[in-house]
Chains A and B, each alone.
Chain A
Amino acid sequence: MITGTGVGSVEGYAARRGVRSRLGGLRRLDWPLFVAVLALSVIGALLVRSATFQLLTEQGKDPEGFLKRHILNLFIGFALGGLVTVLDYRLLRAYVPILYGVACVGLVAVLTPLGETINGSHSWIVLGGGFQVQPSEFAKVGLVVLLAMILGEPRDGEIGPGRRDVLLALVLAGVPAVLIMLQPDLGTTLVFIAVVLGMLAISGAQKRWLFGLVGGGAAAAAAVWFFGLLEDYQIDRFTAFLDPEADPRGAGYNAQQARIAVGSGGVFGKGLFHGEQTGGHFVPEQQTDFIFTVVGEELGFVGGAVIVALLGVVLWRGLRIATQAADLFGTLVATGVVCWMGFQTFQNVGMSIGIMPITGLPLPFVSYGGSATFANMIAFGLLQAVHVRRRPFD
């Protein structure tokens, strides 16, 4: 009932404004969200430069090489986000099967010889010319929209999705999750679980589904552990998380060095581009997974808190958008994006400061990486799209 009037009124609104609708749409954008994402992107670009220019100089390459590519990625990303914002997200439903299919094909492709192993994970497809794609990033977008479609079907009388819908959602989410697990990419799998759980909860699914899922997940994790399905390095990372000093040159090295870099930053940091730990490459993967250590060392507690706050703004606006969405589909899309970004933020910052085990996940809107940037910007576009078409009165 409520949903129906909401949709109708937005359509009427858009129709009434005619040509002016685009300008009006621009005015209806969530500007705090936009500003937060823009700020994160700019700071991120500077951090990417800080993390890479010294090593690139030492290697005799263009010291701004990473920065340039990252800026290009950001432009493409914003363009993609804009495109998604302008599109009526409800039309996406029609393309969801295609999107899902492409994502699954991509995920299968990385497991074939087409895939490339980088840092122990078979997650990339090399396109040639120095370009490579990480299908699992796009699969996150696919997952959010797919679940929103299944769980957000207009229902009569029922508060939550039926058993059939839930099972369908779980099966369809399970296929890419297993493919990602095979890469192996534990971090993205965990993102999938967080997104599924969050979207199921918000869709109004019965509690038993949620508890069943959590319990089943725990049992599965235990099984994986006991049957030795994890790679050695993954086990090492977890044990190293429990006791980073145990093997400071081995698995605990990253965690230890990350904490040293962040801890040595103090209140105000050592200044952008002046991090000695950063300049000495003590922390690996510093432009991607461990970019927060650059924040911690060079910008200190103040900078770190600002980054966390900006990401908090993104999540807050995302939740606000979910609350104000014109329909359950929109609510669920926004919820999915929030769960994705929220989990990834907590996991990424958490592992840099020693409260989460190390898994390879980038920091949303900040880390270097084309596929991740594009996927994040598409998600950002989805949030804006839902917001633009929100209920007129709240």
Chain B
Amino acid sequence: MNPRTHFRLVVLYVLVAALMLVLVGRLWSLQVLEGEHYRGIAAQNRTRDIVVPAVRGMILDDRGRPLVRNTSALVVSVDRTTLLRQKDGGEGILRRLSAVLGIGQDEITKRIRLCGPGIKRPCWPGSPYQPIPVEDHVDPKRALQIMERQEEFPGVTAQVQAVRDYPEPNGAKPAQVLGYLQPITQEEMDKRTGLKVTGYSGVDLVGRAGLEAQYDAALRGEPGFRKVLVDSQGRVTGTADEQAAVPGNHLVTSIDAGVQGAAENALKHAIDGARKAGRPADAGAAVVMDVQTGRMVAMASHPTYDPAIWTGGISQEQYEALLGKKKGEPLISRVTQGQFAPGSTFKVSSVAAAVKDGNSLNGIYPCPGSYNVGNRAFRNFEGQGHGPMNLHMALVKSCDTIFYRFAYQEWQRDGGMKPKKNPSDPMVRMARDYGFGSRTGIDLPSESEGRIPDRAWKKDYWEVTRAANCKGAKEGYPQVAKTDPARAAYLKAVATENCTEGFVWRPGDAANFSVGQGDVLVTPLQLVRAYAAIANGGRLVVPRLGVAVMRPDGTVAQRIEAPPAKRLPVDQKVIKYIRDALADVPKQGTAAGAFGGFDMKTVEVGGKTGTAEVYGKEDTSWFASIGPMKKPRFAVVAMVSQGGTGASTAAPAVREIWEAMYGTKDRPPLLKDGRLPSELPALPGGEGTAP
């Protein structure tokens, strides 16, 4: 063998040995050093967690009638990830799916696109990694076509899922109270611990408003899971581990479907009536509260909507209708979120404040047609004078000038335009004690505070609006002056005053405040609670909708108790005095017309009308009532925005609700002996346990 060949053979020996060592070295690093890492990946590789969604609990009324329950529906969902992995981006699958479902391919494409800025509904607001439901309530025959030809429909599943159903017992449709569900967002999903419903088995829904949101944790249940073994094609080859889903608990509420239905009807009648009389009547609310416990019996809000439209995809048109101003923003509960000037219904607070401030409860006070507050005349409603009267009659006849006088005198005592260091402001304080200007604490999300425009508020508001006012004071309103020089001059004067001393609590502010006008805003819920306090002897209860959380087997998981009530700082004597005055309003006062022929023997109802002026709009119509007067059980409030006087629009609605609860000659009562059920209801059979 020649030396060159020999040498090169030796080189080859070394080369071969080196290559083999490289292989062994790499094997060592891969299997021994990184083995743990790859074992982890491998475990995910071969098992897949299929989350079995829990059936959401029902929401029941006080007698166990379901306001929200579940029905099963065949839902066809599309997995975006699988779709996008196709060569044609899933085009072919969607085309075939469109043919099977009979929905346009465009429409399906829209339903599975992700929501984002500038993207109109329908779109998918949930996580992109969840299967997206394209259609629920699919005909089983069509669903079968999809499941039988899986190779043509990769990433498409048809499954029986529980979807929300709204049976509307007794016509009760408290959409804003119940709220709605929406798919969980990616951020929420990341935050949530435990199992996440992300598999093909279903979409994780979260309560977005109303009771669905407030009691989401109780209603949701615990999803179960199935750990399945899969091969590389994703085919399930067996089950490794399984844990059943724990169905959600049911929520028993104090809503009484019968009363709720009656309140909705009464509100609708009031609004229809006001519209017939030529008023816009753009919104309204009707509330019934148990005055002893603070339990909400009925909460009707107008405009309203059908909560069933949230099930499945929602179209852009429907979505805009829900949120848009054009349709009156039906998602907003006028009971808890609507803020309106309360008008004379507010006087129950002002009377108490005046008495507490030293005015005699039994005194006689003049009620002229108008009263000069500072240099401005404040008039009674329609300028009518009534002569001297006691406070009882001031409430019954709804005299404003008595309250202007109380407010003006008090304002002067506090130092007038140059206020004392610690002004007493009794009316403002009393209003706050009645719970106005802060949330009631009801078990619903997004409650409004209302507004008590006190000195501090005026100062804040002045600072916010100062720049605009001072500009108007300096430059005037030339645009307005072209058509209406008088108005322009007036606006300039107002702007000048606001610019320089807008922060001052003026006598007009005090006078307006005393009769629930000016910048005072309350929610119907705050008002019904204030009247409930008068009815129950001065306890300012915390309103509650939830009564109990019940397990699917019918046992009680949790009784929902309201936080302790605060006491009104008002003497029982005064409360009783106010109650007596309220009792006379429907008999001989401002609501006598509306309650003409009302059967006071069955239930004696007292109340107060309110007609709040709103700048640039029609009056807000109010009627706040309590009853039965001997032993009050309920407070009922109705409000119609731009609905006219309290006597003409709201009072008849309240009357209708009382008559429905207690019955009339022609109509059996909804409540037996005027009582609500005292026991927790039995769960309805069947419906709650849909798959």
Q: Chain A: residues with CB nearer than 8 A to chain B?
A: 2, 58, 159-160, 198, 201-204, 249, 257, 259-267, 276-277, 279-283, 296, 300-301, 304-305, 308-309, 311-312, 315-316, 319, 322-323, 328, 331, 335, 338-339, 342, 345-346, 349-350, 353-355
Contacts and interface: CB of A to CB of B under 8 A. Distances in A.
Contacts of A300: 31
A311 B35 CA distance: 24
Most buried by B among A202, A263, A279, A283: A263
A58 B24 CA distance: 35
Contacts of B32: 266-267, 301
A125 to B, nearest CB: 30
B19 A204 contact: no
A263 B46 contact: no
Nearest to B12: A319
Contacts of A279: 231
13 contacts: A202-B8, A204-B8, A257-B45, A261-B42, A263-B30, A265-B35, A282-B45, A282-B231, A283-B232, A296-B30, A312-B16, A346-B19, A353-B27
B486 interface: no
A159 B27 contact: no
Contact of A301 (B4, B12, B27): B27
A281 B9 contact: no
A257 B39 contact: no
B16 A281 contact: no
Contacts of B31: 262-263, 265-267, 296, 300-301, 304
Contact of A267 (B8, B35, B41): B35
B229 A280 contact: yes
A305 B46 contact: no
B16 to A, nearest CB: 5
B474 interface: no
B231 A264 contact: no
A348 B5 CA distance: 28
B6 interface: yes
A263 B39 contact: yes
Contact of A202 (B9, B34, B41, B237): B9
A201 B15 CA distance: 13
B1 interface: yes
B35 A264 contact: yes
B468 interface: no
A206 B39 CA distance: 50
B45 A260 contact: yes
Most buried by A among B16, B24, B232: B16
B23 interface: yes
A275 B230 CA distance: 14
A323 B34 contact: no
A159 B12 contact: no
B480 interface: no
A374 B360 CA distance: 119
Interface in B226-246: 229-233, 237
A295 to B, nearest CB: 10
Contacts of A354: 26, 30
B137 interface: no
B1 A305 contact: no
Given A305-B27, A319-B9, A160 B232 contact: no
A67 B41 CA distance: 30
A261 B231 CA distance: 13
B38 interface: yes
A308 B229 CA distance: 32
A280 B28 CA distance: 24
Interface in B73-129: 85
Contact of B237 (A261, A280, A305): A280
B493 interface: no
B37 interface: yes
Interface of B: 1-2, 4-6, 8-9, 11-13, 16-17, 19-20, 22-24, 26-28, 30-32, 34-35, 37-39, 41-42, 45-46, 85, 229-233, 237
Given A304-B27, A323-B1, 8 more contacts: A159-B2, A204-B5, A263-B41, A264-B35, A267-B35, A280-B229, A312-B16, A323-B9
Contact of A264 (B19, B42, B229): B42
Contacts of A283: 232
A263 B1 contact: no
Contacts of A338: 12, 16
Nearest to A346: B19
A354 B22 CA distance: 12
B16 A264 contact: no
A347 B249 CA distance: 61
A349 B39 CA distance: 20
Contacts of A328: 1, 5
A260 B13 contact: no
A355 B12 contact: no
B30 to A, nearest CB: 5
Nearest to A305: B24
B85 A249 contact: yes
Nearest to A155: B2
Contact of A263 (B20, B24, B37, B230): B37
A301 B230 contact: no
B37 A204 contact: no
A390 to B, nearest CB: 12
Given A260-B38, A264-B35, A353-B26, A342 B9 contact: no
Most buried by A among B6, B27, B32, B233: B27
A353 B23 contact: yes
Contacts of B85: 249
Contacts of A160: 4
Contacts of B9: 202, 319, 322-323, 331, 335
Which 5 residue pairs of A and B lie closest in terms of their CB atoms, listed nearest first? A263-B38, A264-B42, A266-B35, A280-B231, A301-B31
A331 B1 CA distance: 9
Contacts of A319: 9, 12-13, 16
Nearest to A295: B27
A264 B38 contact: yes
Most buried by A among B28, B31, B37, B232: B31
B12 A257 contact: no
B20 A315 contact: yes
Contact of B5 (A262, A265, A331): A331
B511 to A, nearest CB: 75
